[in-house]
Structure 1
Amino acid sequence: MSDSTALRVADLPQNTPTAFEIIPDKETLTALAAEMGVNAVRKLRFTGEIKAMGKKDWKLSGRLGATVVQDCVVTLEPVTTRIEEQVEITYLARVETPEGAEVEMPEDDSIEPLGTHIDPAAVMAEALALHIPAYPRKDGAELGEAVYAEDGVQPMRDEDTKPFAGLAALRGQLKDED
């Protein structure tokens, strides 16, 4: 995304929220689709506000709306997905960073360290990437069962791999003998 959407924190008013609305043009949508690995991003809109929290911290609250076209993982036909998400990020002037080789991911992933700028377009792109379905499926599309075996050999099916399937069959045979 361009630097033109980045807002300099020092220029943001402390006592009133700063509203934003981002509706990318066709070229930007095409670039985002390529970056996200999808067929197309048809519509994209990110609106919200940035407001001060105390003297040094800031909060970005926004609403992401997007229409994304991807290939179905089963049929490879195009699947259109509508994404509607609330996005909130808190920018803290002081973020505790643990020292050492191993660093655990914080439980709250909506907290970011405050830099010199807050970029709603970058937040929009990240939120879009996080909410695009990893395995889109066309309605009613299901994976079938592929069965392979050499000639003359009984193929192993999914239900044969279930640990208690054999026991249930054995129990059924024992009941029949009684």
Structure 2
Amino acid sequence: MSSTSPSTTSLRVSDLSQSGPTAFNLRPDKAQLQAIAQELGLDGLRKLSFEGDVRPQGKSDWVLQARLGATVIQPCVVTLEPVTTRIEAPVARTFLRDYTETDEPEAEMPEDDTREPLGTSIDPAAIMLEALALNLPEYPRKDGAGIDSVAVTEPGKKPMTDEDARPFAGLADLKARLEDDKDS
């Protein structure tokens, strides 16, 4: 994720070593963790680390490789009770000087979604936030939490059950009745 306006964690491409990796190790403090949790809609964020390096690739491209570690708290999609999840994920980005995007309105997604255009800086903190957002569980569920059957209908009417909703549920019964009619 190239940044046009450098932040405190941005690495200016012109300052990066051409002969070897430039290491980084981000560990947000408590106030930063709270701000990130709020931004991502989390109930809590206990730990967050992003450690890796940026190294040259060829004459003008750069590769970021890192490891994301986080402990997040989200509401269970069934019970709304807090669910704590540990996230450990590798993160890779390739910043290309000659990156080109297609102008076609309905172009397919590229197979390699780790490629990005190279700007004047590379911001590991922005990449960390993006990677965290992409690795969050979409539907966190507390162990043992399940959905019981729900029956809703107008007063005085029989509620429709899951069995009633199955399109072929009555065929076996119909077949059995037709066979009984043949036998009689």
Structure 1 and Structure 2 fold alike (TM over 0.5):
yes
Normalising by structure 1, what TM-score? Answer: 0.92
Paired residue for 1:35?
39
2:165 corresponds to which letter in structure 1?
Answer: T
Point out where structure 2 has 5 or more consecutive residues left out of the alignment. 1-5
Matched, 1:70 2:74: yes
Matched, 1:5 2:9: yes
| Among candidates 4, 21, 26, match of residue 17 of structure 1 | 21
Point out where structure 1 has 5 or more consecutive residues left out of the alignment. none
Instruction: Describe the SS at the equivalent of 2:24.
Output: strand
Give runs of aligned pairs for residues 119-134 of structure 1, distance below 5 A: 119-134=123-138
Shift of 1:4: 1.3
> 1:47/1:175 Cα in 2 relative to 1: closer, same or farther (>3 Å)?
farther
1:146 corresponds to which letter in structure 2?
Answer: V
- Aligned equivalents of 2:18 and 2:52: distance in 1? 16
Normalising by structure 2, what TM-score? Answer: 0.89
Aligned length: 177
> 1:170/1:43 Cα in 2 relative to 1: closer, same or farther (>3 Å)?
same
Matched, 1:79 2:73: no
Shift of 1:175: 4.8
- Aligned equivalents of 2:69 and 2:142: distance in 1? 21
Structure with higher RCO (Cα < 8 A, 6+ apart): 2
